[in-house]
Amino acid sequence: MFKAILARIHQKHRTIKYPAEPAVLPELLRGYPLLNPDACPEECRLCADACPFGAIEAGTGKELSLDMGKCLFCTECTGACPQGAIAFSCDEKLAANRREDLLVSPGCERRLVQALEARMRSLFGRSLKLREVSAGGCNACEADVNVLSTVGFDLGRFGIQFVASPRHADGIFVTGPVTENMREALLKTYEAVPEPKIVIASGACAINGGPFIDSPEAHNGVDGLLPVDLYIPGCPPHPITVLDGLLRLLGRMEEK
């Protein structure tokens, strides 16, 4: 016991100061997209052609836009664009309440996650239990979500926990493209969660199918099967991006 106390004193406080202070993120983080259509010739669509999954609209008659729900943040587009019309910032705030709010275009107002309505906040605002469903994912999204439960992030300090049984949950946290083999399991898990409940789609796969889009063995995410309350884009989303979305949904973050 004495050795454990000494080790704690030596290690000091390891939990990040976010959200009391801005998150310290690596410079290489691929966050919110920055679009500069003025640098983009109207007839050019090199960025759109380079995107493996059709996340970018560009070219004759089309305004430059990027769909974060489809985007894998691979930066193939930035490498293909000689004019530098597309870049990715270090801004981790990517989550949205509505699928259409994931579309980024120069004239489009950016909408951060809005808090749940008052009744739902009164139920979940201080204690939110989630059942994670890996619906055919590669385990990248799952791994970065698991990190939130470590001492570095300490998700539990916000009253948010992942539980083993859907009967003990307030909602489900879905990752993966929802393969046909996981469709029934996902729907049964959702049915087992008591009302009222929420659904969170985390990662490009859960939102739009990711690299498995239009596969005959997948359902292009959870959107067509269940009502989604929170979309968290990324491949995988950074843990801070996930945490930011959850806290905003619960009304635990000031607008910033």
Q: What is the pLDDT of residues 152-173, one digit of tens each?
A: 999 999 999 999 999 999 999 9
DSSP 241-253: HHHHHHHHHTT-S
Angle at 131 (CA atoms; ends 125, 134), nearest 5 degrees: 135
Q: What is the pLDDT of residue 255?
A: 52
Indicate the range of 8-12, 91-95, 205-209 predicted with least confidence.
8-12
Q: What is the secondary structure of 73-139 as a DSSP string?
A: ---HHHHH-TT--EEE-S-----BSSGGGGEE-TTSPP-PPPPPPHHHHHHHSS-EEEEEEE-S--S
Domains present along the chain, CATH in parentheses: 118-249 (3.40.50.12280)
> If pLDDT is split at 50, 70 and 90, which confidence band does 61 have?
low
pLDDT tier at 37 (50, 70, 90 boundaries)? confident
pLDDT reading at 141 higher than 80: yes
What span, in angstroms and rounded, lies between the C-alpha atoms of 40 and 58?
A: 9
pLDDT at 60 over 80: no
Residue 39 has pLDDT above 80, yes or no: yes
> Is the confidence at residue 51, as pLDDT, over 80?
yes
Question: Which 8-state DSSP code applies to residue 224?
Answer: T
Average model confidence (pLDDT) across the chain: 92
pTM for the whole thing? 0.92
